[in-house]
Amino acid sequence: MKTRWMGEDEMLSMLEEAIALSSADQTEIGLSVGSWALTRFANSYIHQNMASQSIQAHVRAVFGKKVATAYSTINNREGLKELVRRAVELAKHQDDNPDFVSLPEPSLPAARPEEATGYSEETAACSAEERASIVQAIIKENDRVSASAAGSLGTWAFERATANSLGIRSYYRSTLAKVTTVSTGPDGGFGYALATSVSIEDIDPTAVGREASETARASANPIEISPGEYECVLSPYAASEVIESFVHTGFWARAFQEGRSFVCGKLGEQVVGPNVTIWDDALDPRTLVTPYDAEGVPKQRVNLLEKGIATGLLYDSYAAHREGKKSTGHAGGFNPIMMPGDATVEQMIQSTERGLFVTRFHYTNVAHLMTATITGMTRDGTFLIENGRIAKPVKNLRFTQSLLEALSNVDMIGKDLKLVDSTLAPALKIKKWRFVSATEF
């Protein structure tokens, strides 16, 4: 659906008018105007189309160390003014937050590559007919191998503005196109594929459909194997879960300050293998470019791990003020990137005498913060590797694994990065991955 933009001038005008009405010592207001559209398909048929447009707003009001935030969907300026009144009234009745110092002050944005726009007109204008055409190409690939396709294709287009009473004024537009599909083969095999991009024109539906359907065909009639420790080759889908979970459990400054991070007491020390380097950069043109965070603070690149050494943390203004530092622009959202290596997936498989190839992980949850231990299961294409080749599909396995241990045992790193949601991930070969039980499918 065609997005109806308000534009920078009108949005900032609304924010300034609303801030002027606030009696709070400090006030922050954010607006997000945009649209999303979704096409769902199952059994190789489109069965649902949805589209929506809305204006979301938040107001944060501060009296000394009393802070309150109100959220709402609004329709006009009067709705925003009412939200300001509500936030102000809520703030008056809060207990003091002893660690709160101030809302953020204006700061200069980081230099941004010219191609890092984060916005695509083609995505913003994508119609239901265009989405259907993309889905049709995915289904066609499944038909070729007598597989059935299910999944969804979504597009999002937003403009976001944030202002506060200390002088912050930020505005940007962003788009996202994402397709996810699971193929079911005629003999019970499953396959998975995902594509994410700022521009829907970057998504190749034929390649997406072929990847999922070929995996489904190859994974038919899986055998059961015993749980235990295996060498594992993780596709970028599975590796992205590792990277995202690792960063999320360890590198938020507030968790570090509260003693809930495995990085506590280890900044500047080796925490994983020396071949692992990870940073966060929302301005990298290969990711979902986001120039400002939810507080209107410019996003900064943060080096989190350099050759296995923990070197940085992600700060919003609250956590930064507790240490007398500047926010890194991480009030919500992160964009982790792992440094690629020089291996191909084929080379990883060829170098494995006996192990597993994992397409993706499912239902991944954190089991223990201080050891970065996660639990979950394999899904949609798990294969036994024997003598350097894919031998047989296997039934899914459940795992419990410390990511500190896993990333200390990275044997090979893929040379290509894939964008999976907001994470740029390579394939990984890990020497030991602990599987604790088997499934019946």
Q: How confident is the chain (441 residues) per 10-residue block, as mean pLDDT?
A: 84 97 98 97 98 97 99 96 98 98 91 80 96 98 97 98 98 98 96 98 98 98 97 99 98 97 98 99 96 96 99 98 97 96 98 99 97 98 98 98 99 99 98 95 87
pLDDT tens, position by position, 77-102: 999 999 999 999 999 999 999 999 99
Write down the pLDDT at residue 264.
98
Question: Can you tell me the distance from the alpha carbon of 323 to that of 99, in angstroms, rounded to the nearest whole number?
Answer: 10
Quick one: CATH architecture of 8-211?
2-Layer Sandwich (3.30)
Q: Label the pairing between strands 428-438 and 397-402.
A: antiparallel
Write down the pLDDT at residue 192.
99
The pTM for the full model equals 0.96
Q: Going edge to edge, which strands form the sheet with 66-74?
A: 66-74, 45-63, 26-42, 148-164, 169-184, 190-197
Q: Is 221 left (phi over 0), alpha (psi -120 to 50) or beta?
A: left
Query: How many CB atoms within 10 Å of residue 354?
Result: 12
DSSP string covering 102-142: -PPPP-PPPP--TT-----HHHHT--HHHHHHHHHHHHHHH
pLDDT tens, position by position, 241-276: 999 999 999 999 999 999 999 999 999 999 999 999
The CA angle 161-163-166, to the nearest 5 degrees, is 160
Write down the pLDDT at residue 127.
96
Cβ contacts of 111 within 8 Å, gap of 6 or more: none
Domain boundaries, the chain: 8-211, 222-441
Write down the pLDDT at residue 441.
87
Q: Is 117 left (phi over 0), alpha (psi -120 to 50) or beta?
A: alpha
| Burial status of residue 202 (CB atoms within 10 A of its CB: 0-12, 13-18, 19 or more) | middle
Question: Can you tell me the distance from the alpha carbon of 75 to that of 54, in angstroms, rounded to the nearest whole number?
Answer: 8
Write down the pLDDT at residue 294.
97
Write down the pLDDT at residue 1.
62
